[in-house]
Amino acid sequence: MLNSLHGRRPPSGSGSRTGTPAAGSRQKGVVLMVALIVLVALTLAGIALMRSVDTSTMIAGNLAFQQAATNSGDTGIEYAVSWLETNNSGATLHGNIYAQGYSASRQDPVAGQSWDAFWTSVLAANGQTLQLPSSAAATANATTGNTVSFTIQRLCNAVGDPVSTSVDCAVPQSAANAATSSSKGAGFIQLQVSTAIYYRITSRIVGPRNTVSYVQAIVAL
pLDDT digits (tens, 9 = 90+) for 139-161: 445 556 788 899 999 999 999 98
Residue with the larger pLDDT of the pair 212 and 158: 158
Classify residue 124: in a domain, yes or no: yes
The three-class DSSP label of residue 171 is coil
Classify residue 14: in a domain, yes or no: no
Question: What is the structure's pLDDT at 75?
Answer: 85
* R_g over Cα of the chain: 40
Classify residue 7: in a domain, yes or no: no
Classify residue 4: in a domain, yes or no: no
Range of the domain at 166: 35-220
Query: How many domains does the chain contain in total?
Result: 1
Question: What is the structure's pLDDT at 124?
Answer: 93
Classify residue 10: in a domain, yes or no: no
pTM of the prediction? 0.64
Classify residue 72: in a domain, yes or no: yes
Please report, rounded to a whole number, the percentage of residues in the chain having pLDDT higher than 70.
63
Q: What is the pLDDT of residues 72-127, one digit of tens each?
A: 788 889 899 999 999 998 899 999 999 999 999 999 999 999 999 999 999 999 99
Classify residue 105: in a domain, yes or no: yes
Classify residue 147: in a domain, yes or no: yes
CB 73 within 8 A of CB 138: no
